[in-house]
Amino acid sequence: MNFRTIEEFDIARKRVVIRVDLNVPIRDEVILNTARVKAIIPTIEYCLRQHAEVVLLSHLGRPKGTCDPKFTLQPVAKELERFLNHPVEFVEDWRTWLRRSADSEHVLDSRVQLVENIRFEPGEESNSNVLGEELASLGDLYVMEAFGTLHRAHASTYKAVQAARQVGIGFLLAQELRMLSLAMVSPQRPLVVVIGGSKVSSKLKVVQHLLTQADTILIGGGMANTFLLAMKHTIGTSLVEIEFLEEVSEMLSSGRIKVPHDVMVCDGSLDEHGKSIHRLVDEVKAQEMIVDIGPDTARCYTKLIKQAGTVIWNGPMGVFEYDQFGEGTRVVGKAIGESAAFTLAGGGETIAAIDHNDLSQQLDYISTGGGAFLEFIQGATLPGISALRAHACNNDRCRN
Ligand code: 3PG
């Protein structure tokens, strides 16, 4: 996908509207993970160097079209200011602001503004034409930079792109598309995919699609239980989705899926007090619950990761939040971090597992996408990309 980047436009003394994804975890006004804030800084700094005025649009949480102070972007404006080392104005009432800006001829060079949560607008999630047009008209150029929100057909990710006269993409989105294509479209072989997480249902399409591309898929986490059951192993009281046994059996018949041959089960409660006990998959007792892959499986996965040319990682291998159930995720994560392969990870809980094990500096690329990353690697067409593509085609820039 070859979209026009922000560098291909003359933005000097122009007003640039940038749709970013600043949907970050916040507790007591403290931002718990700043990766999405840091990731958009180069695009904003570029605009400032070009003497452009910047208007940032984002959502936060799911306020469902009403103005709920719980979801204000105000703390994010402060964090942005810290990373940019430049003032960021917080625009609560962007319609009044729009009228004022329209009245003024002057673009305010080096001004950075963050508009209040766009999901406070009822028209955002309903993908309203009117709201899309309003947002597109806020500036001279509409820049898409919100990779994490491209799987949503909302007014700021879809209709505004359709309505804007000039549309470009920012450095973060360009990098996301480049890195994901590197891993998915033209990977160095062998392509090894590590998939974990609790539910097979949320990863079914990912595994099915990746089976068409990958040389080996390593399965861990709660979703491995459904595979183990399909192979007639006992899984005790472990989480399982029996309605997917047929699909899982079909996937296993490919011969390219590896599942754990040893596991850790929980003795006691599934919290910091519980103990983990090692079991071979045939030895899991009726009352036991699988909470992690076992050490021998982790060794075997490590070996396959070492031989890989490309590794894609999505999902933890166990209940990593508790150290005694997190060894599988730690060992596999470390192997990915140390691998000479091109390594790519993404997805909300994967990012949490990477942070938990302090691995963020060791991977080649960590996507800022959660659901968008998952949909991309399952081969889905993201609505935000369709809108960008349609805009490019309508403007004779159909190079894709
Ligand atoms: C995300 O965090 O995955 C994106 O910001 C999208 O958020 P949503 O799932 O609330 O649409």
pLDDT in tens, 202-253: 999 999 999 999 999 999 999 999 999 999 999 999 999 999 999 999 999 9
Q: What is the mean pLDDT of residues 361-382?
A: 96
**Residue 110 banded pLDDT, cuts 50, 70, 90:** confident
Q: What is the pLDDT of residue 108?
A: 76
Strands 262-267 and 342-345: unpaired
Cα of 285 to ligand 1 centre, how many Å?
A: 39
Residue 291 tokens, joined: 């909470």
* CB-based contact 119:65 (threshold 8 Å): yes
What Å distances lie between residue 200 and 216, 228, 241, 311, 354, CA to CA?
17, 12, 7, 20, 21
β-partners of residue 18 are: 56, 143
CB-based contacts of 38, cutoff 8 Å, min separation 6: 83
Q: Is the CB of 62 under 6 A from ligand 1?
A: yes
Q: State the closest ligand 1 atom to the C-alpha of 21, by its place in the atom list counted from 1.
A: 5
Q: How many angstroms separate the alpha carbon of residue 371 from the centre of ligand 1?
A: 7
Using DSSP's 3-state secondary structure scheme, residue 397 falls into coil
Q: What is the pLDDT of residue 348?
A: 87
Per-residue model confidence (pLDDT) at position 398? 58
- Torsion of Cα atoms, 368 then 369 then 370 then 374, to 10°: -140
Confidence at 2, pLDDT banded by 50, 70, 90: confident
Q: Which atom of ligand 1 is nearest to the CA of 59?
A: 5
Task: Write down the pTM of the prediction.
Answer: 0.94
Is the predicted pLDDT of residue 266 greater than 70, yes or no? yes
**Model confidence over 27-74: pLDDT tens digits?**
998 999 999 999 999 999 999 999 999 999 999 999 999 999 999 999
Pairing of strands 342-345, 365-366: parallel
Q: What percent of the chain has pLDDT over 90?
A: 92
Backbone angles phi, psi at 100, to 5 degrees: -65, -45
H or E element, residue 112: strand 112-115
Angle at 42 between CA 114 and CA 93, to 5 degrees: 5
Q: Is the pLDDT of residue 146 over 50?
A: yes
**For position 400, what pLDDT does the model report?**
43
What is the rounded average pLDDT of the residues 369-376?
95
Q: Are 17 and 156 in contact (CB under 8 A)?
A: no
The pLDDT-based confidence of 1 (bands split at 50, 70, 90) is low
| Residue 242 CB neighbour total at 10 angstroms | 10
Q: Residue 102: pLDDT above 80?
A: no
DSSP string over 224-273:
HHHHHHHTT---TT----GGGHHHHHHHHTTS-EE--SEEEEEES-SSTT
Ligand 1 touching residue 152 (CB < 6 A): yes
**Bridge partners for 90 per DSSP:** 114
Give the model's confidence band at 268: pLDDT under 50 very low, under 70 low, under 90 confident, else very high: confident
Residues 341-364 have a mean pLDDT of 95
C-alpha 62 – ligand 1 centre gap (Å): 8
Q: Which atom of ligand 1 is nearest to the CA of 23?
A: 5
Counting residues of the chain whose pLDDT is more than 70, the rounded percentage is 97
Provide the pLDDT confidence category of residue 258 given band limits of 50, 70 and 90: very high
Closest ligand 1 atom to Cα of 372: 3
**pLDDT for the residue 157:** 98
- 369 Cα–ligand 1 center, Å: 8
148 lines ligand 1 (CB under 6 A): yes
Range with lowest mean pLDDT among 97-106, 184-193, 302-311, 318-327: 97-106
| 229 CA → ligand 1 middle, Å | 32
Residue 140 CB less than 6 A away from ligand 1 = no
pLDDT tops 50 at residue 109? yes
Is the minimum distance from the CB of 371 to ligand 1 under 6 angstroms? yes
Phi, psi of 133 (to 5 degrees): -65, -40
